[in-house]
Amino acid sequence: MSRIKWNLDQLEEVRQQHEEAMSSTEQVIENGKADLASMTKEVWVGEDANIARNQLSDLLNKEMVETWKELDACNSAIQKAQKTAYESKNFCNGFPQIFYSGSMPSDGDQGACSGELLCDSGNSEELKSFMDAAGKDALNVKSKVESAESLLAELETDVAKFDYSSYTDPIKTQTQKVADRAETYNNAVSKYVVKTTEMDNDLARELLDATPSMVPNPFDPSCLLQADSVHMKDGDVINFLDASKSIQVSNTLSMSQDPSAINTVYKKSNYTATNLAYTSSNSTVTNLKSVTNAKSYAAGAGNGGATDPYAQYKTGISEIDKRIDELFEEYGDDLNGLAEQGVIWEDCDETTKKALAAIYDVSIENVDQSFDNSECEQDRARVGNILHTVADFGGCDVPEVFNPERIADFETYLKKDGVGFEIVQTLKEAQKGGGNNVPAFSYLDVSIVDAGISFGFRDPDNADDVEESAFYTSEDRALRYIKKCEGEKSGCFEHEYSLLDPQEGTPQEALAKQYAMAKSSDDMTFLDRLFKSDESYKDVFSGDPGELSSNVKLILGNHANILAADSNGPDYKEYFDFCNAVISDPVYADKYIESVAVGSGLAADSIIEDVWAKDYSGDAEQAVIKELNKANNNELLWNSIYGIYKEKSKDGMVCNMKIDPNGGVDFQNGDSFTFSWSILSTGNGADLGSDHKVVINALNGESATNWICGAEIEKLERLKEEAAKDVAIDTACSLLGIYCKEAGEGLKLIVDFSKDQAGTAKDQALDAYGNIGKTEKSQVTLFNALDGLFSKITGYNTQKDLFGKISDTALADTVMAYQCDGKPYYYTKLNDYYRIKALKDWDKDGCSALYGTDGDKAEAYWGGLIENDEIVDNIRKNTTSLWIIHNYTDEEIKAALNAIVYGCNDPNHSSGDYKSVRDIPTELRIACIDQLNINNDSNYGNVDEEYSSHVDDLED
């Protein structure tokens, strides 16, 4: 049969009627047996009575029992057909899943469903031919794109590279998806037709076989095509079963043709691959999802046109549900009329607001559950157009993209546990661009970017011009994205997993945390390349990365650190493959080098902050020391690459860069490298370049006296400072815990304190980070916690000329130095584990901590000395500007002296605002120590010298 149309509701009625007929038959048999029992020989006598008793006995115990069994067989056949029908309809209803995820829906779901089961084998074949053509068209497009790639590849040179893969890869991926899913869809349609046809044939055969043999005119299922009633017709048994004379069957169970269904759904006869194309959301389009839904309906999933297309948005409240229907009718299926007509939130009545919020909640949930823009085109458009009502346009004065009053009111109508509410919290922070203006006729664009969702405004005159205003992602969405990618390509994250050493959770969860740190589409696109790369890092650092956030830079820094681990030695091949990939693109090397250099500094700072807040011991201490030394030297190498690159860039484009180790390296100290490059000067051709020797060292004391600080390094330090202001402390803590299992306890103390979960940790955090108490808890960043560290870096570098020796200026800091072809450069930083530990001792217990067993006596001596008013007078004179301006008050000078002698936690000797000796302004600290040294007439060593000795003692 070419067409099948079953009414599943009527089929259920037939099953129920058969059960009633069986029950009636049982009752007749029981009643007949009672009558037979009463026909005793004493009451019924004679030959006729004996014949009557025998015939009635045979009828009740043989023929009618057989009839009941045959009725039971009919009922079993109907039940079997019913289950198969449910499977078929549920299978067909699941066809859209093929285009959502590419997977075949289940064909074993026997869950009850209602409506009609439709199957037209002719239309199904036509549909398959359309889908087959669409798949071929898609593969043809892919083939042409690959041909174009080949041509572009032939045109490339070492200097001229084309960033075509970022454009062609998505096209190839999408076209292959269309082809694969079209094939899967056709297989599903074929399976559906076979399954439904076999079900129809099986029911007809089994009903004929099960018809009671005593019926003169057997039950013929073909009568289902012609009549409203199916009669067992005349016969002794049927006449006797007066309680069940007929079984009503609607003619909708027939196989009558219904060609109007196809015409209603399609509106046109031919479909090609062009109907699957993406178009801008401000026009009415037929997209992949709507086409497949329509074709699934035509193949049998429809319900006679009775399905509510907006059922998923309905709330069960009639007034709101009615308004939802009206909104779609008034503003279009994608609600584009909201934007076109300039509807604003405050002009909507209460019912309209509730209806729009209900649509938004469901639509944004659909978007969040998808990873393909084409799958949720309609939902993205609806979300954008609803959010359009709360945005600020034109010359509004507020800096926020979304009007604060409007979006605050909007969120009150949303589900508080829904993703839509969570996304609104992100949208609240969206700021307008430099012009403080969003064009009045912009469309709000909502787009999926891998594990994130981008919100931006599209120029009405240029659909490709979208300015991103906000970006959302979450660990939950990222984890689903990871699993989806692994389902499509097994092992795509295996290399990244091999680098992770999470303190908590699985590598998958650790990777999801990193994905969720993305703050923009640029971030997400780059991280996706990085996390899916192998050890060669091919194409990760090619093309314009856009503006990468501080979070991504910190990820890159941690990534470089982990590659410098001992386990990758002794040649550290992957580390240098990573380095050379970073510097491989001469056009965008500036961005990539800066990102890794800043990130390496932030990664080192995370460990510095960790050890500043936590007193480690035993094996954990040794592991953290090794991690810190490795991070410091990785930062130093990248600072040297950055500084050299910046200097050479003044002469032209730096290209053909390559860095290799000279012999063995250990990322501890004194490593030597060969750095080669060429300079492409305008009008002068290319300098083929040569090899240059780079040596990195951590220096202290007199050996650092005459080193100079390059201007580019000072600039880089300022960039690191700005980046640190943008990295949340819990982000730094999370990343350190992902890449370094041994460290992170100190950062956790600060995180706990920032979240008011400190307990005893609070005191430790306050001791080390007094400035956090002045900061909003939710705003604690890597910079807040390290404010005292960052503020000194640039100052030391510039004040070296004023104070003569870096060692005096920096005190506890290490001079991080590198040479290029013998020319030295430096920067100073508090990054040596033992110097940090010694400084913490000094801050906590005063100078007594520096003098060993003589500590208390030494402190008493220095305490008496600083009571001398002449010392205070001399410090005031030595810190005077223009001969008459006193830079520091007597109270500030006294606080500095107290900090040096008694530390910063002595309740009897106030250190003022100084929470560490290192917090004392450099000029004031040097003046104080100079006066103490000049007036020292004891056997005790000078304080600054004893500090250095204490460092040595700790290290030994």
Residue 471 is inside which H or E element, if any? strand 462-473
Predicted local confidence at residue 394, as pLDDT:
57
How far apart are alpha carbons 683 and 652 in whole angstroms? 10
3-state helix, strand, coil in the chain (%, to 5): 60, 10, 30
> Does residue 427 carry a pLDDT above 50?
yes
Mean pLDDT, all residues of the chain: 76
Contact 378, 333 (CB under 8 A): yes
Q: How many residues does the chain have?
A: 956
| Nearby residues of 383 by Cβ (< 8 Å), 6 or more positions away | 360, 363, 364, 367, 446
pLDDT higher than threshold 90 for residue 685: no
- pLDDT score of 161: 67
Q: Are 208 and 115 in contact (CB under 8 A)?
A: no
Q: What is the mean pLDDT of residues 760-776?
A: 41
- Greatest CA separation for the chain: 151
pLDDT at residue 439 greater than cutoff 80: no
Alpha helices in 652-786 (DSSP H): 711-724, 729-739, 745-754, 760-768, 782-785
Question: Does 616 or 209 have the greater pLDDT score?
Answer: 616
What pLDDT score does 803 carry? Answer: 41
> How many CA atoms, within 13 angstroms, populate the side-chain half-sphere of residue 524?
22
Mean pLDDT confidence for 49-55: 76
Q: Looking at 201-215, 592-606, 881-895, which range is the least confident one?
A: 201-215
The answer on pLDDT for 759 being more than 80 is: no
Locate 612 and state its tokens: 């500043």
Q: Which of 165-174, 279-288, 566-575 has the lowest mean pLDDT?
A: 279-288
Higher pLDDT, 700 or 875: 875
The domain segmentation of the chain, as residue ranges, is 1-214, 312-472, 574-764+806-831, 832-955
pLDDT value at residue 693: 75
pLDDT greater than 60 at residue 292: no
In one letter, which amino acid is 774? K
Does the pLDDT at position 859 exceed 90?
yes
Q: State residue 151's pLDDT score.
A: 79
* Residue 169 pLDDT exceeds 60: yes
| In contact, 389 and 356? CB cutoff 8 Å | yes
pLDDT bin (cut points 50, 70, 90) of residue 581 is: very high
At 12, the pLDDT band (50, 70, 90 cuts) reads confident
Question: Minimum mean pLDDT among 218-227, 591-600, 802-811: which range?
Answer: 218-227
Beta partners for 654? 679
Average pLDDT over residues 364-377: 94
pLDDT, tens digit (0-9, with 9 covering 90-100), for 689-737: 567 777 776 554 444 444 445 566 667 777 777 777 776 666 767 677 7
Q: Which residues of 515-528 are buried (b: 16+ CB within 10 A; e: fewer)?
A: bbbbbbbbbbbbbb
User: What's the whole-number mean pLDDT along residues 886-897?
Assistant: 91
Query: DSSP secondary-structure letter at 299?
Result: I
Contact between 828 and 810 under an 8 Å Cβ cutoff? The reply is: yes
At residue 627, does pLDDT exceed 50? yes
Where does the pLDDT of residue 765 fall: very low under 50, low under 70, confident under 90, or very high at 90 and above?
very low
pLDDT at 409 > cutoff 90:
yes
Please check the confidence at residue 773 and state whether its pLDDT lies above 90: no
CA distance 438 to 467: 10
State the sign of the Cα–Cα–Cα–Cα dihedral 196, 197, 203, 204: positive
pLDDT tens digit sequence for 258-274: 333 223 222 333 322 22
pLDDT surpassing 90 at residue 578: yes
Distance of CA 130 to the CA centre of its chain: 36
CA-based torsion, 483, 488, 490, 492: positive or negative: negative
Tell me the one-letter amino acid at 87: E
Confidence (pLDDT) at 689: 57
Measured CA to CA, the distance from residue 636 to residue 595 in angstroms comes to: 14
The whole-number pLDDT of residue 596 equals: 96
Angle at 477 between CA 475 and CA 481, to 5 degrees: 110
Side-chain half-sphere exposure of 897, counting CA atoms within 13 A: 27
Mapping DSSP to helix (H, G, I), strand (E, B) and coil, where does residue 914 land?
coil
Interval 63-119: pLDDT, tens: 777 777 777 777 787 888 888 888 888 888 878 777 766 777 777 777 788 888 778
Mean pLDDT is lowest, of 231-235, 247-251, 509-513, 885-889, for 247-251
Q: Residue 15 in contact with residue 82, Cβ under 8 Å?
A: yes
* pLDDT value at residue 145: 82
Per-residue confidence (pLDDT) for residue 460, from 0 to 100:
67
Q: Give the C-alpha separation, 633 to 600, whole Å.
A: 9
Q: Which of 215-229, 484-498, 651-665 has the highest mean pLDDT?
A: 484-498
pLDDT for 496 equals 93
Among 315-329, 768-782, 813-827, 933-947, the minimum mean pLDDT is found in 768-782
C-beta neighbour count of 865 within 10 angstroms: 17
Tokens of 2: 């070419």
- Region 750-770 average pLDDT: 47
